[in-house]
Chain A
Amino acid sequence: MPAEDPTQKLALAALDAESAINALRDGDASGRMSFSELFAYVNDPAFIVPGDFDARLKSTPQAQENLLRLMQKAAIISMPRLAAAATDGPVRREVEGAVLTLMTSKADADQLYLIIELTRTLPRLPKHIVVLSDAFGPRRLALPEFSDERAQIIIGAESEMALALMAPETEVFLI
């Protein structure tokens, strides 16, 4: 559905209204997180994440559930929590359709290569990677253009994205 689709806008407005009514009824109108904001976070590449996004999300369990559902619906590839703990070697997550690898740069040990390889033809190429982490909240990163079914990006080894990707209990979505 196009971002400016009027039906979509109407539906989001209705969901926002319902959520506002629920919040008022529950006496929790402050710090509310609208459904349309969550929808934009997941679907709109141009959405700028507000500074208080994490805090508001953390304090709203319903919003967390909605975000997870939206993410599962929008994701081209979902990489669930890993069964085993990460090892000292390169971090690797492999699911049907994609392989994610983190490799330390030899040029700078403080930097990592995040590589995503697509192993089957997808309906479209992912634009973003989102990691859902209990420690940091959701972390989103724009992916570079895929070339030969592969995208590679450099991230800081201590960045929240890297730490979240290295943590086995996080969920990864390619959107």
Chain B
Amino acid sequence: MTSSDIFILTTEGPVAIQRIVAEDEGLHSVICLDGRAEALPVSKAYHAFVQQPIGVIERFTGHGSYRMDVEGRIDEGQSWQLAALIAHVSDCTGETPTKTVFASGEVDNALNVRPVTKVPEKLGTVERFLSAREIDPTDAVIIIPADDTETPLSVAGVPVCKVKAVEEALSLVGLKMPSTSAPVSDSASDKVDKEKSAGFFRVGIVASIIAIALFWFGADISRWAALSKQGRLLELEQALAESDESAIGAIRVALYRQWLSLRLPPEDVVTFNGVVRTVGRDQDCASVDHARAPIFQDTSNSPKVCALEMSAFARDTGLSIVGRMAYWPEGLGSTDKPARVMRGSAGISERTWKIEFRTAPNPGTIVRLVAVIGDAEVRGAQPWYAALLSAPVDSSGFENAARRLLRLGYRVNATSWTYR
């Protein structure tokens, strides 16, 4: 595709999609600026938008790697997706849109068009752009997501059309969604199967049967497997809960959960250790070298505590650890939230958390470390930490939060340091 009649609406003005070229399979899809050797930061999101099982483009083109060149910078967000999808449909079918298209909208896996932000600002840039480019307003259309916000019926004579689905957007410009040319990915669970099977020989046969069953259950399972592989656990949990509402969905969810249970890390795979750094009672932490003592040693007669370092290691280096360390100066859960929460060092199967005490801890101070371990580094919102960091390990609050993660294929390990 080489025509510039599809524009992405941005707050800086419409950006033309200049061309789409299929690249060799195996390459990650990229969005480049004006033909230059510069991949824009949104390339990672574009790759996910293209490639199955998350992406939608490969589903109808049968190809999973593209380069899209655009006229101007697109630095963030997902609102480029609707225009990009229209451009891909045009490229795939060889049909040119009947009108110049200005579009903004996020496209989900079911090809619904989801609301995006800053639509009024984006519309505000169109009028000046039309006159500068000498585009005939009667031969153009602005397509935005249907939502509750008020928007003008037209901008500089160009009608503003609100759509809920990609199908509607395409019909506005004389295009049709191509039939799905490639089967929905069969492979997310298979890929997972291939990548890590070593620790699961004992359940190999059962796993194989489940894997075959997962294959036949199709798109949802693939999507869940992809979410799991990317560590997007909250999204996975929500997706499973949605599917669980229907009878067939519940069977799929049960099967998938069975699969996850087979992939659970062993219970004793994490080791904690660490050190307490101390100085004499009358000394200043900043002015002298610290003495170091093992963290789980009795500190009841220790001198002044300056800092604490705790590490978590996974004995299986194929597993990822994430976690939080919370500082409770007055004791666990004594206030609404901990005084400080540390995310820990970068790492995969090993992380370290450090805290330097601004004031020496009093008896009763607790530092709680929670490590979450599983196949991938957990990303996105992680609401379970609130309970895991504040509740006693044997409390129902802690157990419920840990069970949430267990049901998603992740195991929780926690330890606490108490100053007595």
Contacts and interface: CB of A to CB of B under 8 A. Distances in A.
A17 interface: no
A106 B29 CA distance: 12
Interface string A98-132: 00000101111001010100000100100000000
Given A106-B21, A107-B19, A121-B348, A152 B27 contact: yes
A114 to B, nearest CB: 10
Contacts of B317: 121
Q: How large is the interface on B (under 10, 10 to 19, 20 to 34, 35 or more residues)?
A: 20 to 34
Contacts of B318: 121
**Which residue, of B23, B26, B37, B349, has the highest number of chain A Cβ atoms within 10 A?**
B37
A155 B32 CA distance: 12
A74 B348 CA distance: 20
B340 interface: no
Interface in A121-175: 121, 124, 144-145, 147, 150, 152-156
B59 interface: no
Nearest to A115: B27
Interface residues of A, number: 19
Given A107-B19, A107-B69, A111-B37, A154 B30 contact: yes
Contacts, number: 46
A97 B21 CA distance: 32
Contacts of A121: 317-318, 348-349
Interface in B25-39: 26-28, 30, 32, 35, 37-39
Contacts of A147: 28, 44
Contact of B28 (A106, A108, A124, A152): A152
A107 B21 CA distance: 6
Contacts of A150: 28
Given A106-B22, A121-B317, 9 more contacts: A105-B23, A106-B24, A113-B27, A124-B347, A144-B39, A147-B28, A150-B28, A154-B37, A155-B37
22 contacts: A103-B26, A105-B23, A106-B22, A106-B23, A106-B24, A106-B67, A107-B32, A107-B67, A107-B69, A113-B23, A115-B27, A121-B349, A144-B39, A145-B44, A152-B27, A152-B28, A153-B39, A154-B30, A154-B32, A154-B37, A154-B38, A156-B37
